[in-house]
Chain A
Amino acid sequence: MAAGYQIKTHAAEFAVLTSAIFTIAREMGVNMERTARAPIYFSAHDFCTALLTKDAELVALAEYIPVLVGATPFAVKAVMKYFGDDVNEGDVFLVNDPYVLDGGNQMADWCIVLPVFHQGEHILWIANKAHQQDTGGGAPGGYNPQAIDVYAEGLRIPPLRIVRNGRERRSVIDLIMTNVRIPDTQYSDMLSMIGAARVATKRINSLIDSYGIKVFKTFLDDLLNYGESLMRDEIAAIADGTYHSEVRGSEDGPPIVCDLTVAGDSLVVDFSQSGPMSPEYINSPIANTYSAVYQAILQSVGKSIQVRCGGCYRPVEIRTKPGTITHATFPATHGNCTNFVAKQIIEAVWSALSQVMPQGVPAGWGSIPFWVFSGLDPRRNEGYGSPDFLACASGAGAIWGVDGWSSNGPVICSGTLYYPELEICEALYPMLWKRWEWAQDSAGPGKWRGGMGVHNEWVAAADPQPIHVHYAADPYDYDPAPAIAQGMLPPPNRKELYMADGRFLDNDAVKTQKAFSLHNGDRVVDFVQGGCGVGDPLEREDALVAADVRDGLVSVESARKHYGVVVDQRGILDAAATKKLRAKPRKK
């Protein structure tokens, strides 16, 4: 679309309708958050809500988890392809499978799809996507690192009508709930997702009643064109060219290769040179790849755009090659794609962009070495299961001019994941936490330092029941990217197990064995890395380094070694010695 597009909706009505439609999407999110019963959803906010056009373009959304949003059009398109005209008022559909019609990003992320009708006419779609506590398959919690194929990862749900004419299809829902481990909660959470969509349907109808269907339809066109214009305007400001980056988990892991081409006001993001699919469960279905790319672009090129609708996606063309790690095909395993690969895809886009706009791109965030734990709580004789969100508290990367935020990860959530309070965790799970606080020197040094990561440590207290834990995160030790303009990387993650019987399992042992049963006194220790730095640490203001030392965030040794600042434990600066040290020629 040409720049200088003029909206056709009246100026006042456009402003009013834009704010109204985003309010509806946000209210839907608030309602889901307030009613859900699974911690992953009400606290971790691992969900999103979206309104889409009849053609499945995003209109308005509440992005609780940024990396889920871009996947909602895939779910709607799958329903459209599968059901064609057989879509009626009062229907609710459910989708999770990544391979049937490319409908899903990851199987634990269930998507409720619901058509919105106004006076008998199908106007919009609602798609609410939420990570479930469990999705069946070979391991609890939707993360099964030992899966050999997609069947072992969970119950595959192709586009499925679960409500017809406002009435639940009991037998179908029972089939699903029989195949998940915590059906009681998951059924409630399904009600929560549908309930929020129904409230929104009511609101949309009264909005259309106030402004008329004609005005409303024109407005939808305008909104998407508006988003597109804003994004084109941002892209046009970047120098034309092709920028290449490669992010790799390990020496022998498949590389994620990004060729990002800026041509005028369009972008092509080409991943077709990425490596082949991995035997690990890190392959990215196409919906996941698209969603990660959109997130990366909106957080860098489009960071000042407030109306993050599907129009903003129009100038971005994404290319992938089936059979690669960035375009997984049936029956490849994919369970960890929203964490590990999505993160690397985001990093690949940022790394490419950092070559042409280093001051406008965030540095990489720390990875999250998280576990999934599950078991039977002997205190109530009830099942439980959850990722350990406290081990997700990695640091954010810095950006030109601003330090990274501490304990703000993972990047796919970008500060929308609320870590559950320790008291809530100890009330819900049979564990006693020993430590959860920022870890000294966990951040990447820089003129603008990365955010801090954390130490996380807990002890099992569930006897006579075991606590099942399995290592669910990054299968490789790898460095986050990018560190920008001589900024530095954070130290790597570490996981350790100290068993009550004296055995000790170090990082390598944990990653090899992956699954464990813990008993009273067994202790889990995580070191979660911080974010990457931006700019030369030798240029960081010495008073800021001294304050970091005083606060215990940076050690005296690191201050000297990385920042060239001489300071004592209490943060008292030796200005003369610092000046001398900083004047020394640098080692290459």
Chain B
Amino acid sequence: MHCLNGFLLFCIVSSESENLIEIRDLMYSRGARVIFKDLNLTIKRGEITALMGPSGTGKTTLLRLITRQLIPQQGFICINGVDISTLNQRELYELRQRFGMLFQNGALLTDLNVFENVAFPLREHTKLTNRLIRHVVLTKLHAVGLRGAADMMPAELSGGMARRVALARAMVMDPEILIYDEPFVGLDPISMGVIVRLVRRMNDALGITSIVVSHDVAEVSTVADRSYLISDGKVAASGSPDELHAANSELVRQFMHGMADGPVAFHFEAPNYAEQLLGRDSE
């Protein structure tokens, strides 16, 4: 009961603060593998927050926890002062209508063309006329440079184009929170520059909050207000990109400067290389 009161008090306080998302004492494991243990993290309203970390640290899993596609074993996540674990399905869907999410692979609906993919949330949640939907969709497609691809099917798009269409779809409902899962992967330099500027411009012009998961330290540094480096299930470091670049921690330096040697091993745990090559372990 005491714990529950603590959650409620915390969420009420959060709803009035500048913190949009609060994660406290989060624990999540998959089978025997613990992915997060006592993770604490705050995402401030109106900022672009980057979540970075070595592969396999669970960055995408964290996004799925924030959007309650997954449920943590312990701890809680408050969005806008609401503990999302207490929401029923209708309330959860109402909350998700305020989210836009760009999936790592785009996740476009393969039986709909580009135009209909972007129009999908509008057709499902609004009663806008076809004329107005057309106007909104073409505006969003123009913003990502793909107005001319409106009639193409997802199978005809390159990976980068699919991601840009998915970005147009993520922002078509003018969400409060935009979540980007690896938005810069597979983009050519021109598209990447446009998308980076678009992320920044949308965040500032529309006053939304953005969460970016990315390995791309250089691009993230140009766009993020605050970065969290996640390692071993916890926040290893946080701060502005400049602060992370200047950090003394070996782990932070290894990640930010892409060094092979450091606390994070490049090689997965394996038997002795020479012995394995010579086949002694199989005898």
The yes or no verdict on A and B being binding partners is no
Q: Which residues of B contact A (CB under 8 A)?
A: none
